[in-house]
Amino acid sequence: MLRFTTITLLIASLFFTCAQKPTEKGIRWMTLGEVETVWNANPRPVLIDLYTDWCGWCKVMDKRTYANGKVAAYLQDKFYPIKLNAETRDAVKWMGKEYAFNKGYNTNEIALYLTRGQLSYPTTVIIPAPGEEPQAIPGFLNPSEIEPILKYFGEGAYKTMAFPDYHKKFKGAW
């Protein structure tokens, strides 16, 4: 019996460990709460994939962009990636504030905050560091389109130059 229990625990532990790590091409998406607990101690940019269940382009972005091995690896290394359903009816807590579902817009107030009221799906939201304003990039982005955006924030270039200047000099690899 002890041998069976030990093996069972070992298998369960291995499964849990593997489930927490990204697959070779996958992203380990975090929750807002998970990011909030580690962000100040270990700051890095946050990427929020703001989507809805009905959005076809959101699904295409999952399959073409976020499933790309280079995109996934870079996100895991340089960002805290969050997947957030803009239409969640659950209360959402973020940085000491609670956001509720807004029936008038049929969306959660956090989506309105992150996009400054310019709702579009998918929207990629980057929050460069704690206390900085969200940067919303609406629409589908393929790997070569998202690469300069990710590297602009991931490498900290946003601190010293405007994105158009960075983009002119950028040499893509994806």
Q: Please give the pLDDT value at position 114.
A: 98
pLDDT, tens digit, 9 for 90 and up, residues 3-45 = 444 333 333 333 333 333 444 458 999 999 999 999 989 999 9
Give the H/E segment covering residue 174. Answer: none
Task: List per-residue pLDDT tens for the chain, 174 residues long.
Answer: 444 443 333 333 333 333 334 444 589 999 999 999 999 899 999 999 999 999 999 999 999 999 999 999 999 999 999 999 999 999 999 999 999 999 999 999 999 999 999 999 999 999 999 999 999 999 999 999 999 999 999 999 999 999 999 999 999 999
Q: Which amino acid is at 67?
A: A
Measured between alpha carbons, how far is 23 from 73 in angstroms, rounded to an integer? 10
Q: Please give the pLDDT value at position 1.
A: 47
3-state helix, strand, coil in the chain (%, to 5): 45, 20, 35
Measure Cα distances from 134 to 23, 83, 128 in Å.
Answer: 28, 15, 7
